[in-house]
């Protein structure tokens, strides 16, 4: 990757902190990291939403490449003045309510309120862009289509949905198709442990690993930041197990009936869809976004050599496409 296309986050200004977040009468803390110059009036900050749910922000740090050293440039690919990363509640460096909360606590509404609090707390609510990956894209889409604070939502300029399904039913159907393409012994291992309720076994983990190498990340070994995000789920699986369930392929948690399809036409900002040709989020999972956001303006880029984390698998092209979208009219 050439230096003209990418800027190392190591040489950019960085700010970290925690914001108080009060929800249902209790106050928590949301960890955030800002890369770039948030105080600059020349650009529009990009807020990123990580996946999982529960995988933390680390694997998205490559998006720091989007920060332009000169946001006021007339180039159509100037990127952004700052990228904001944060750990959603129950994840990474943010507060961990853990077993003190009923499953009904962990809802998209909770995380939309947390995002609203972050935007206000960092002073970016009047003008910002959103990039959500996987579950983060689901959350960003729901926020953009249905959030009750219309004044806050009016500050949203552009939306990027990266490997985000429009419904969990479509996601499950796509995964089922991909699992059938795995070696027969791997399929049998997955089936047996899911039926026996032993998805925490080493054998099951290794079988899932075969799927992940094809449809989650095709870079070997997995990038360090991606591994760290996975570790966060292992350190506290509360959010992932409650909302998704113990299996990647059979959604048994509170998101099992989630669908944004009826609300997609309410998304009223220019939107960029991104996905990998080998993605566990298959094209039929994303098609409803493309069909439903036509009036606001929608583009869709597919990465031929990527699966679920194209920003790590085809980093240079990914950054170039996103930077052009952010910088365009």
Nearest CA to 83 out of 281, 323, 301, 329 is that of 323
Task: Give me the catalytic one of 125, 229, 279, 307.
Answer: 279
Give whole-number Cα distances, 260 to 108, 164, 168, 211, in Å.
11, 11, 9, 26
Q: Is 134 an annotated catalytic residue?
A: yes
Tokens of 166: 């429009």
Q: How many residues does the chain have?
A: 329
| Separation between Cα atoms, residue 230 and residue 26, nearest integer Å | 28
- Taking CA atoms, 199 is separated from 181, 193, 202, 240, 319, in Å, by 20, 5, 8, 14, 36
Q: Under a CB-based contact definition with an 8 Å cutoff, are residues 188 and 159 in contact?
A: no
279 catalytically annotated: yes
Nearest-Å Rg of the Cα atoms of the chain is 19
Q: What are the backbone angles phi and psi of residue 18, rounded to the nearest 5°?
A: -135, 135
Contacts of 42 (CB under 8 A, 6+ apart): 71, 72, 81
CA distance 152 to 156: 8
Answer yes or no: are the C-beta atoms of 236 and 96 closer than 8 Å: yes
From 95, 134, 145, 162, the catalytic residue: 134
With beta carbons less than 8 A apart as the criterion, state whether 254 and 107 touch.
yes
Catalytic positions: 134, 279, 308
């Amino acid at each position: 990757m050439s230096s003209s296309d990418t800027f190392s986050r190591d040489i950019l200004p960085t700010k970290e902190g925690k914001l108080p977040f009060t929800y249902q009468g209790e106050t928590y803390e949301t960890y955030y990291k800002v890369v770039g110059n948030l105080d600059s009036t020349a650009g529009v900050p990009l807020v990123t939403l990580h996946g999982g749910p529960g995988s933390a922000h680390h694997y998205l740090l490559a998006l720091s490449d989007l920060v332009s050293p000169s946001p006021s440039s007339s180039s159509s690919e100037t990127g952004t003045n700052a990228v904001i990363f944060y750990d959603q509640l129950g994840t990474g460096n943010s507060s961990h309510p853990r077993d003190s909360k009923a499953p009904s606590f962990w809802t998209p509404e909770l995380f939309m309120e947390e995002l609203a609090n972050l935007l206000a707390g960092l002073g970016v609510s009047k003008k910002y862009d959103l990039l959500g990956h996987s579950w983060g894209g689901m959350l960003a889409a729901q926020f953009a289509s249905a959030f009750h604070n219309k004044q806050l939502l009016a500050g949203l300029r552009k939306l990027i949905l990266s490997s985000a399904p429009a419904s969990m039913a479509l996601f499950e159907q796509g995964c089922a198709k991909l699992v059938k393409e795995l070696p027969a012994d791997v399929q049998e291992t997955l089936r047996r442990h899911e039926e026996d309720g032993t998805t925490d076994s080493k054998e099951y983990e290794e079988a899932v690993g075969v799927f992940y190498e094809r449809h989650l990340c095709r870079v070997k070994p997995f990038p360090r930041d991606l591994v760290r995000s996975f570790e966060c789920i292992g350190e506290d699986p509360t959010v992932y197990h409650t909302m998704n369930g113990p299996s990647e392929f059979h959604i048994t948690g509170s998101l099992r009936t989630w669908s944004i399809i009826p609300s997609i036409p309410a998304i009223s900002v220019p939107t960029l869809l991104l996905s990998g040709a080998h993605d566990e989020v298959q094209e039929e999972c994303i098609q409803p976004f493309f069909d439903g956001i036509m009036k606001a303006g929608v583009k869709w880029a597919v990465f031929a050599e990527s699966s679920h984390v194209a920003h790590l698998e085809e980093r240079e092209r990914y950054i170039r496409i996103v930077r052009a979208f952010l910088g365009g009219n």
